[in-house]
Amino acid sequence: MNAALFPEVIVNGETVPHTAIAAETQNHSGPKGKPGVAWRKAANAVAVRTLLLQEARRRGLSPDPAEVGPGRFETEEEALIRGLLETAVDAEAPTEEAIHAEWARDPERFRAPPLWEVSHILVACDPRDESLTAEAKLRAEDIARQVQADPKGFGRLAADHSDCGSKASGGALGQIGPGDTVPEFEAALHGLAAGQVTASPVLSRHGWHIIRMDAVGEGAVLPYAAVRGKIAEAMEKAAWAQAARDFVSQLVSTAEIIGTEIGADG
């Protein structure tokens, strides 16, 4: 993408380097063949970042980088922006009435985690090896067809063909819940009813799975007292995010920005 084709971005008299926008484009997408869309999104993002940094410096804030992971710290710019938002953005905590109203709107949303009884047949492979993965898929699809032709023979097919230790129990994994398996496997469980087998093999980091849902234990609806804290936290985060957006909009409305239009993604 030729940066020279795009206008310079100037925020309150400060020119934003094209290199900064070019680096930011990797975080944005656009229609194939239209690189200008990603560029405009990146220009908007960098312009907002520049505006926030200008405001932080105008207020005389000093960066205090926080640790964001083992041995990993914020950059000074990230610390300045965080410090500014912590200083400038204030959102009211939701009232007890509002929290209860959010729960009462649809208590069915708040359930205990489900429990699944699951069996599977694993055709092991390393997904990083495309050739072996394709070969394993053919084998898994053949087993899946045999399962469809003889659903009652699932346990025998697992014992004969599965590469998982559960083959000794006909592929049965017992009861599992959210987080007990790899994400790809769990995602498939959410779409299965009791007695149903996946329509096609499911690929995970371990290989191809033919999955049968033996039973589903739907989690019970939780009482208000059990979920009040999570609801309040979610509402506080949403209120803070809206207040932060309002703060940025206020800065934009009083700024002189040339070369991009914040809020227009193209």
| Helix, strand, or coil (residue 204) | strand
Whether the pLDDT of residue 52 is over 70: the answer is: yes
pLDDT band at 266 (very low <50, low <70, confident <90, very high): very low
pLDDT > 90: percent of the chain: 84
The residue-averaged pLDDT of 228-247 equals: 96
Q: Which of 35-39, 74-78, 123-127, 228-232 has the lowest mean pLDDT?
A: 35-39
93-146 per-position pLDDT tens digit: 999 999 999 999 999 999 999 999 999 999 999 999 999 999 999 999 999 999
Q: What does the pLDDT read at residue 263?
A: 64
Q: Which of 19-33, 46-60, 152-166, 195-209 has the lowest mean pLDDT?
A: 19-33
Place of tokens 């390393």: 126
pLDDT band at 213 (very low <50, low <70, confident <90, very high): very high
Q: What does the pLDDT read at residue 3?
A: 52
The residue-averaged pLDDT of 224-232 equals: 97
User: In Å, what is the CA distance from 8 to each residue of 26, 43, 55?
Assistant: 19, 9, 21
User: In Å, what is the CA distance from 111 to each residue of 40, 189, 221, 245?
Assistant: 42, 17, 4, 31
Decide yes or no: CATH 3.10.50.40 for domain 115-217: yes
pLDDT band at 30 (very low <50, low <70, confident <90, very high): confident
Q: Domain segments of the chain: what residues?
A: 3-92+231-258, 115-217
Distance CA 78, CA 168 (A): 53
63-100 per-position pLDDT tens digit: 999 998 899 999 999 999 999 999 999 999 999 999 99
The residue-averaged pLDDT of 189-206 equals: 94
CB neighbour list of residue 208: distance below 8 Å, 6 or more residues apart: 122, 123, 125, 136, 137, 139, 140, 201, 202
